[in-house]
A = this chain, B = another copy of it.
Amino acid sequence: MAVDTVAPAAVDLGPATALSCRECGHRVPLGPVFACEECFGPLEVAYDLPGDPAALRARIEAGPANIWRYAPLLPVPADVADKPNTNPGFTRLIQADHLAAELGVDAGNLYVKDDSGNPTHSFKDRVVAIAVEAARAFGFTTLSCSSTGNLAGAVGAAAARAGLRSCVFIPYDLEQGKVLMAAVYGGEVVGIEGTYDDVNRFCSELIGDEIGEGWGFTNVNLRPYYAEGSKTLAYEICEQLGWRLPDNLVIPVASGSQLTKIDKGLKELIALGLVEDRPYKIFGAQAEGCSPVSRAYKDGHDVVRPVRPDTIAKSLAIGNPADGPYVLDIARRTGGAVEDVNDEQVVDAIKLLARTEGVFAETAGGVTFGVLKKLVADGRISPSETTVALNTGDGLKTLDAVAPTTGVSATIKPSLDAFRAAGLA
């Protein structure tokens, strides 16, 4: 964990200048560390950002149709777009007028940010792409992570593309489909006899051992870099709205990292002069069966009490979310909220989004749009304000959620009479 094992002179991560503790502000050189040596607070990337907003905007707009258009705002070298990586991002922002009509939002005011279009069909491709650059900068040769699905696939794909070895760790009883998605890229996939928490603990042990030398764990020792990838969601949403802040954002909460980094991205855009400085509200979305942050929000607590997850939204099933306190702070500071929905509402919301806008979300998306529905219904989101809700994953990965209530309208013989009799004509 000692910072002096890294030679700072060799590290080129573009505008990133140091790591800074979110709690006490202590600074250390860029390196594969994630906890402050003074206070054990989380380390974040600090930047030397560009000063001329017009030049920056022109540079971004002339950039590639992926996250590298924002390279001047990310911990990546200037030539990042020329290296082999998965080029995620610049996914669709959909003006969702049919959904708006069903929920009671004014036409033109509701948007879906659809991250299922990323290379492995979740937002994880964004964060992993940044982690790959950090891994290269620190000379790591193996990319690793603990995962219950989306992250393992994103790491496998990104490592294959980058020419790195990969070795990911999953609970041994993961569904076969998710194992296949992780293993098809040819890296090592190791099943751990235990829960996801056991997998996490094992990864921390590995980093401390000589086996782990040369290993970059996207969500552990590369976490400060990795997490910055979520800022690109904030950048894209504002650019796609015509360099404008939305009034409201609805974001799913697992560890809470994505929500806090989207807030960081919005604040950067304001500071850089790329968007007008005016208020926005951030809302967090959790599944009732794993809602530690929502409960703390409702109870008025600053501390998040861990829970044992029990929900179909497995990609959000983190019972002890590392960034939970920051989510609470952001929701309260911006005038947002943290809310939850039950599994039945999750499935209903998946089908609502598919039926109205043709977007098939995974269960995490069902959580987000279920919460959106609740917030509009009880007036916490105003119909006359601009709202963006995130779909962070793909329904193809969680087919079981919709299977019991989705199927053919009828099965008939191939004749017009049979079709008429089925009542669908």
Give the interface of A toward B (CB within 8 A): 65, 84, 86-87, 90, 92, 94-95, 97-98, 114, 116-121, 156-161, 163, 167, 170, 172, 176-177, 179-181, 183-186, 188-194, 198-199, 201-202, 205-206, 209, 211, 350-351, 354-360, 394-397, 399, 402-403, 406-416, 419-420, 422, 424-425
Question: When the two chains form their complex, are residues A157 and B424 in contact, meaning their CB atoms are under 8 A apart?
Answer: no
Question: When the two chains form their complex, are residues B414 and A201 in contact, meaning their CB atoms are under 8 A apart?
Answer: yes
Q: Nearest chain B CB to A131's CB is how many angstroms away?
A: 14
Question: When the two chains form their complex, are residues A183 and B408 in contact, meaning their CB atoms are under 8 A apart?
Answer: yes
Q: Which residues of B contact A163 (CB under 8 A)?
A: 98
| Known interface pairs A160-B354, A414-B198, A419-B206; A185-B360 also in contact (CB < 8 Å) | yes
Compute how far the CA of A170 lies from the CA of B409 in the bound complex, rounded to whole angstroms: 11
Q: Nearest chain B CB to A147's CB is how many angstroms away?
A: 13
Q: Which residues of B contact A412 (CB under 8 A)?
A: 190-193
Instruction: Enumerate 5 A-B pairs (CB-CB under 8 Å) in ascending A order.
Output: A157-B354, A159-B358, A183-B409, A184-B350, A198-B414
Question: When the two chains form their complex, are residues A211 and B420 in contact, meaning their CB atoms are under 8 A apart?
Answer: yes
Minimum CB distance partner of A163 in chain B = B98
CB contact between A396 and one of B114, B191, B396 (< 8 Å): that residue: B396
Question: When the two chains form their complex, are residues A180 and B84 in contact, meaning their CB atoms are under 8 A apart?
Answer: no
Q: Which residues of B contact A194 (CB under 8 A)?
A: 413-414
| Top-6 shortest CB links A-B | A186-B355, A157-B358, A161-B358, A191-B411, A202-B414, A160-B358
Q: Which residues of B contact A416 (CB under 8 A)?
A: 205-206, 209, 211
Question: When the two chains form their complex, are residues A360 and B184 in contact, meaning their CB atoms are under 8 A apart?
Answer: yes
Q: Which residues of B contact A419 (CB under 8 A)?
A: 190, 202, 206, 211
CB contact between A358 and one of B158, B190, B205 (< 8 Å): that residue: B158
Question: When the two chains form their complex, are residues A396 and B181 in contact, meaning their CB atoms are under 8 A apart?
Answer: yes
Question: When the two chains form their complex, are residues A190 and B351 in contact, meaning their CB atoms are under 8 A apart?
Answer: no
Question: When the two chains form their complex, are residues B98 and A119 in contact, meaning their CB atoms are under 8 A apart?
Answer: no
Compute how far the CA of A190 lies from the CA of B180 in the bound complex, rounded to whole angstroms: 30
Q: Nearest chain B CB to A162's CB is how many angstroms away?
A: 8
Compute how far the CA of A206 lies from the CA of B414 in the bound complex, rounded to whole angstroms: 10
Compute how far the CA of A145 lies from the CA of B194 in the bound complex, rounded to whole angstroms: 47
Question: When the two chains form their complex, are residues A95 and B84 in contact, meaning their CB atoms are under 8 A apart?
Answer: yes
**19 new A-B contacts at CB < 8 Å, known A167-B424, A186-B351, A206-B419:** A65-B65, A86-B358, A92-B119, A117-B119, A156-B358, A157-B354, A161-B358, A161-B359, A184-B402, A185-B355, A185-B360, A189-B407, A190-B424, A191-B411, A191-B412, A192-B414, A194-B414, A205-B414, A209-B416
Q: Which residues of B contact A394 (CB under 8 A)?
A: 121, 396
Minimum CB distance partner of A361 in chain B = B184
Question: When the two chains form their complex, are residues A413 and B193 in contact, meaning their CB atoms are under 8 A apart?
Answer: yes
CB contact between A90 and one of B65, B98, B157, B199 (< 8 Å): that residue: B65
Q: Which residues of B contact A92 (CB under 8 A)?
A: 87, 119
Compute how far the CA of A406 lies from the CA of B186 in the bound complex, rounded to whole angstroms: 9
Compute how far the CA of A179 lies from the CA of B92 in the bound complex, rounded to whole angstroms: 25
Minimum CB distance partner of A97 in chain B = B84
Question: When the two chains form their complex, are residues A360 and B181 in contact, meaning their CB atoms are under 8 A apart?
Answer: yes
Question: When the two chains form their complex, are residues B184 and A406 in contact, meaning their CB atoms are under 8 A apart?
Answer: yes
Q: Which residues of B contact A396 (CB under 8 A)?
A: 121, 177, 181, 394, 396-397
Question: When the two chains form their complex, are residues A119 and B184 in contact, meaning their CB atoms are under 8 A apart?
Answer: no
Q: Which residues of B contact A176 (CB under 8 A)?
A: 403
Minimum CB distance partner of A170 in chain B = B408
Compute how far the CA of A396 lies from the CA of B179 in the bound complex, rounded to whole angstroms: 12
Minimum CB distance partner of A202 in chain B = B414
Question: When the two chains form their complex, are residues B407 and A183 in contact, meaning their CB atoms are under 8 A apart?
Answer: yes
Q: Which residues of B contact A359 (CB under 8 A)?
A: 119, 157, 161
Compute how far the CA of A160 lies from the CA of B350 in the bound complex, rounded to whole angstroms: 13
